[in-house]
Structure 1
Amino acid sequence: MDTDVLIVGAGPTGLTLANELRVAGVPTLLVDKLPQRSTLSKAGGVQSRTQEAFDQRGLLEPLLATGNHPTGTAHFAGITLSLTQGRHRHPWRSIPQAVIEGFLEQHLAAQGISVRRDHELTGLSQDEDGVTATFASGRVVRSRYLVAADGGRSTVRSLLGAEFPGRPGTMTTVAADVRLSGDDPVMTHTRSEDGHWASVFPLGTDPQGRPLRRLSLGGPGRSLPREVPVTEAEIRDGLSAVFGSRVQLLELRYARRITNAARQAAQYRHGRVFLAGDAAHVHLPIGAQGMNTGIQDALNLGWKLGAAVHGWAPDHLLDTYHAERHPVAAAVLRNVQAQSLLMDQQGTRDPDLVATKELFAALTQLRDVQYFLDDVLSGMGIRYPMPGTEGRPLVGLPAPDLDLGPVRSHELLRRGRGVLLDPADRFAKVAALWHDRVDRAGQGAGTEPMLIRPDGYVCWAGNPDDLEPALGHWFGEPH
């Protein structure tokens, strides 16, 4: 084998996975077909759960130190969820994808892992022992596992012939990175009476300290073929249709047309090949969910691949990647499609749709409705199907961040190992059997005992009789 894991695609998903495998001590090769990293913002919002995961690896603080990354308020279909402010330890933040990619690439380089660029995949085959990848240069790489993180038009997915069912794009909207003047709107979805609309949210600042905005535009007659270039005149006209003379375009840095295609791979695992990020699911970028879903794919898969490479993974462990992550992305596609409908992106002003949105907007004034939608968007409400969830409200959910005296519980996950919180020192004997894979923490008086997977999800809590089976289920045979 040339490497244990070959990752194709060095976007946020691939870079996050490479770091997870580094933490797990797994030799990894990360390749990308682009000759250099893209500087385009693309995605721009980082949800609470993703920030928690970065914090669990000690990456959040240095990431936030890269610039001005303002916080914002969640919205659903353009309706602000103001009652959710301050609900999570890490609020929604605006961090452009280009910043995240640059940060992760530099972090990996400092650990001796460099992205191999100009590597265009042209061939793929696998057998019972590994995967053989062929590149346009003629280079052949042999690995034990391969992960496709190469985007919505995934070459790996195509070479596999993997099913990618769903809906093709039926319309386009404009997404642009801009500087604006005048009554500069921030974090708003504004609609004119004739159906034209604009969404704006912050992207931090440029090198001169000037505020940047992500602008989305749509409405009657604005759905043009994807290949038609977006012009400054089109942006100015769209701003004028929504804001009149109150908002002016100062600079257009980047623009593209995006479609409302909604597709998801039928299977995330194909033998020794796995699909992750946009290679596994594509949808209209609403609510800052696409990049975050891909990063969470990587966090779920990374430790499981590490377990397989190191030889202690239970037979079923790699299959839990599809079982856990496929329903999550399916739910994202559903909520994005619902938001797109409620936002009336084509500006039809259909009376039935207007009435539906008015009723929905009234419902969102209820706290419980806002909390539910916030859980959907932030990732904090994801609950994986696991043994022991019955009657155990913590099992399957992200682990709470607890004060354990000298440390907080999230800091214990920085080694990328499982963590057993054992405040009463009751489980030292059984924990010793998995000491090479699970750390035991006896601090935290009053803390409920729980077992936390390396990706930060609780996989056991409460019943002492269930601890040893849970350790075996997630961490294999004892040492």
Structure 2
Amino acid sequence: MDTDVLITGAGPTGMTLANELLTAGVSTVLVDKLSRRSELSRAGGVQSRTLEVLDQRGLLAPLLATGDHPVATGHFAGIPLPFDSNRHHLPWRSVPQVVIEGFFEQHLAAHGLHVRRDHELVGLAQDPDGVTATFANGAAVRSRYLVAADGAHSTVRSLLRAGFPGPPGTLTIVAADVRLGGADPATSHTWGEDGHWAALFPLGTDPQGRPLRRLVLGGPGRSLPRETPVTEDEIRDGLSTVFGTRVHLVELRYARRITNASRQVAQYRHGRVFLAGDAAHVHLPLGAQGMNTGMQDAFNLGWKLAAAVHGWAPKDLLDTYHAERHPAGAAVLRNVRAQSLLMDWAGTRDPEVLAAREIFTAMAQLPDVQRHLADLMSGMAVRYPMPGNATHPLVGLPAPDLDLGPARVHELLRSGHGVLLDPSDTFARIAAPWSDRVDRAGRGAGTEPMLIRPDGYVCWAGSGDPEPVLAHWFGEPH
């Protein structure tokens, strides 16, 4: 083997996974077909759950130190959502994808893992022992496992001939990174009476400190073939149609057309090959859910691959990647389709759609509805099925970042191990055989007993015997 894991695609999903494997001491090769990192912003927001896991790996503070990354406002179908509950103690941040990729690339390089660029995958073969990948430049890499993080037009997915079911795109909208002049619109989404609409989101600042915005435009007659270039005149016309003379274009940095295609692979695992991020699911970019869902794929898969490489993975542990992440991806596709309908992307001004939106907007003012939608959009609504005392209110959910005195829960997860909170020192003997993969926080932990997986999800809590759950997730004892 040349390496334990080969990752194709050095975007946020691939780099997040590479860092998880690096933390776990797994040899990794990360390749990308581009000769240099893209400077396009693409996604622009980091959700609460993603921020939590970055904090668990000690990466959140250095990421936010890379520039001005203001707290971002969330929305559902353009309806603003508050993120101020205890379950969102880390509010959304506006961090462009290009910044995230640059941060991860530097972090990985500082730890000896460099992206191998100009590696365009052309061949893939797997056998009972590993995977052989060949590239257009003549290189070949033999690995125990391969993870496809190579985007919506995944070469790996094509070579696997993996089904990618779902409705194709029926329209396009324009997404652009811009500098604007004039009055700053009071709301992120603005609709005109004729069905034209615009959405604006902060993207931080350029090197000169000038604010950048993500602009999205749609409406009647604006759906053009995806390959049609976006011009400055088109941007100016869209701004004028929605805002009149209040807002004008100062600089167009880049623009592209995106579609409302909604697809998801039927299987996330194909033998020794795994699909993650946009290679596994695509949808309209609402709330940066595509990037964040892909990074969560990586957090879920990383520790499981490490367990398999190190030889302690329980039977079927790798299968839980599909079992847990496919439903999570499907839920994102459902909420995006619902938002697309309520936002009237095509600008039809259909009275039935407008009536539904009016009622939904009123409902979204109810606190319980706001909390539900906020959880849905922030990644906090994901609850994984767990064996054992799964009726406990915390089991299956992200672990709360409790202050345990000498350390917070997130700090205990920095090692990439599981964590057993044992405030009464009840389970020292039981946990000892798993001490090479589960760290125990004993007396003084100041909370109820809790077993937390390396990805930060609670897999056991409360009363009873944690030994069966330790064996289920962490394999045979040492």
Q: Shared fold (TM-score greater than 0.5)? A: yes
- Per-residue CA deviations over 1:103-153 (Å, capped at 9, x if unaligned) read 000000000000000000000010000001011112111100000000000
Report matched runs for 1:120-135 at 5 Å: 120-135=120-135
Match of 2:176 in 1: 176
Report matched runs for 1:108-187 at 5 Å: 108-185=108-185
What code does the residue aligned with 2:254 have?
A: Y
Match of 1:289 in 2: 289
Query: Residues 390 and 3 from structure 1, CA distance in 2 versus in 1: closer, same or farther, beyond 3 angstroms?
Result: closer
Aligned-pair distance for 1:463?
2.5
Match of 1:313 in 2: 313
Match of 2:5 in 1: 5
1:298 is the counterpart of 2:298: yes
CA distance in 1, matches of 2:321, 2:187: 34
Partners of 1:83 and 1:367 within 8 A in 2: no
CA distance in 1, matches of 2:378, 2:389: 21
Report matched runs for 1:417-456 at 5 Å: 417-456=417-456
What code does the residue aligned with 1:254 have?
A: Y
Aligned-pair distance for 1:446?
3.8
Report matched runs for 1:199-210 at 5 Å: 199-210=199-210
Instruction: Tell me the SS of whatever aligns to 2:327.
Output: helix
1:189 is the counterpart of 2:176: no
Partners of 1:187 and 1:201 within 8 A in 2: no
Q: CA RMSD in A?
A: 1.1
Match of 1:386 in 2: 386
Aligned-pair distance for 1:445?
4.8
Instruction: Tell me the SS of whatever aligns to 2:194.
Output: coil
- Per-residue CA deviations over 1:194-222 (Å, capped at 9, x if unaligned) read 11100001000000000000000000110
What code does the residue aligned with 1:474 have?
A: W
Identical-pair percentage? 77
Match of 2:357 in 1: 357
Instruction: Tell me the SS of whatever aligns to 1:420.
Output: strand
Aligned-pair distance for 1:444?
4.0
Match of 1:92 in 2: 92
Aligned-pair distance for 1:42?
0.5
Instruction: Tell me the SS of whatever aligns to 2:180.
Output: strand
Aligned-pair distance for 1:381?
1.7
Query: Residues 432 and 328 from structure 1, CA distance in 2 versus in 1: closer, same or farther, beyond 3 angstroms?
Result: same
CA distance in 2, matches of 1:46, 1:409: 21
Report matched runs for 1:252-271 at 5 Å: 252-271=252-271
Query: Residues 389 and 335 from structure 1, CA distance in 2 versus in 1: closer, same or farther, beyond 3 angstroms?
Result: farther
What code does the residue aligned with 1:464 have?
A: G
Instruction: Tell me the SS of whatever aligns to 1:266.
Output: coil
Partners of 2:130 and 2:272 within 8 A in 1: yes
Partners of 1:72 and 1:187 within 8 A in 2: no
Query: TM-score by structure 1 length?
Result: 0.98
Instruction: Tell me the SS of whatever aligns to 1:464.
Output: coil
Query: Residues 414 and 139 from structure 1, CA distance in 2 versus in 1: closer, same or farther, beyond 3 angstroms?
Result: same
CA distance in 2, matches of 1:366, 1:217: 29
CA distance in 2, matches of 1:390, 1:318: 20
Aligned-pair distance for 1:72?
1.9
Match of 1:471 in 2: 470
Query: Residues 300 and 187 from structure 1, CA distance in 2 versus in 1: closer, same or farther, beyond 3 angstroms?
Result: farther
Aligned residues: 478
CA distance in 2, matches of 1:213, 1:83: 21
CA distance in 1, matches of 2:214, 2:105: 24
What code does the residue aligned with 2:212 have?
A: L
Aligned-pair distance for 1:84?
4.3
Match of 1:211 in 2: 211
1:277 is the counterpart of 2:277: yes
CA distance in 2, matches of 1:463, 1:19: 34
Query: TM-score by structure 2 length?
Result: 0.99
Query: Residues 417 and 390 from structure 1, CA distance in 2 versus in 1: closer, same or farther, beyond 3 angstroms?
Result: closer
CA distance in 1, matches of 2:390, 2:271: 31
CA distance in 1, matches of 2:165, 2:382: 23
CA distance in 2, matches of 1:30, 1:388: 37
1:79 is the counterpart of 2:79: yes
CA distance in 1, matches of 2:428, 2:187: 50
What code does the residue aligned with 1:97 have?
A: Q
CA distance in 1, matches of 2:147, 2:20: 13
Partners of 2:421 and 2:451 within 8 A in 1: yes
What code does the residue aligned with 1:65 have?
A: A
List gaps (5 residues or longer) in structure 2: none
What code does the residue aligned with 1:400 have?
A: P
Partners of 1:85 and 1:91 within 8 A in 2: no
- Per-residue CA deviations over 1:4-33 (Å, capped at 9, x if unaligned) read 000000000000000000000000000000
Instruction: Tell me the SS of whatever aligns to 2:434.
Output: coil
Match of 1:18 in 2: 18
Runs of 4+ in 1 over 3 A off after TM superposition: 82-87, 443-446
Aligned-pair distance for 1:173?
0.3
Aligned-pair distance for 1:81?
1.4
Query: Residues 83 and 155 from structure 1, CA distance in 2 versus in 1: closer, same or farther, beyond 3 angstroms?
Result: closer
List gaps (5 residues or longer) in structure 1: none
CA distance in 1, matches of 2:186, 2:295: 26
CA distance in 2, matches of 1:203, 1:415: 32
Instruction: Tell me the SS of whatever aligns to 2:213.
Output: strand
Bigger Cα displacement from structure 2, 436-445 vs 260-269: 436-445
- Per-residue CA deviations over 1:352-404 (Å, capped at 9, x if unaligned) read 11000000001001000000000001011210011135421111000000011
CA distance in 1, matches of 2:143, 2:31: 13
What code does the residue aligned with 2:115 have?
A: V
Query: Residues 245 and 404 from structure 1, CA distance in 2 versus in 1: closer, same or farther, beyond 3 angstroms?
Result: same
CA distance in 2, matches of 1:443, 1:339: 47
Instruction: Tell me the SS of whatever aligns to 1:45.
Output: coil
What code does the residue aligned with 2:353 have?
A: L
CA distance in 1, matches of 2:141, 2:204: 40
Query: Residues 418 and 187 from structure 1, CA distance in 2 versus in 1: closer, same or farther, beyond 3 angstroms?
Result: farther
Query: Residues 229 and 443 from structure 1, CA distance in 2 versus in 1: closer, same or farther, beyond 3 angstroms?
Result: farther
Instruction: Tell me the SS of whatever aligns to 2:216.
Output: strand
- Per-residue CA deviations over 1:438-477 (Å, capped at 9, x if unaligned) read 0000154540110000000001111222x00000000000
Query: Residues 310 and 190 from structure 1, CA distance in 2 versus in 1: closer, same or farther, beyond 3 angstroms?
Result: same
Aligned-pair distance for 1:226?
0.3
Partners of 2:83 and 2:374 within 8 A in 1: no
Instruction: Tell me the SS of whatever aligns to 1:355.
Output: helix
Query: Residues 187 and 400 from structure 1, CA distance in 2 versus in 1: closer, same or farther, beyond 3 angstroms?
Result: farther
CA distance in 2, matches of 1:12, 1:186: 31
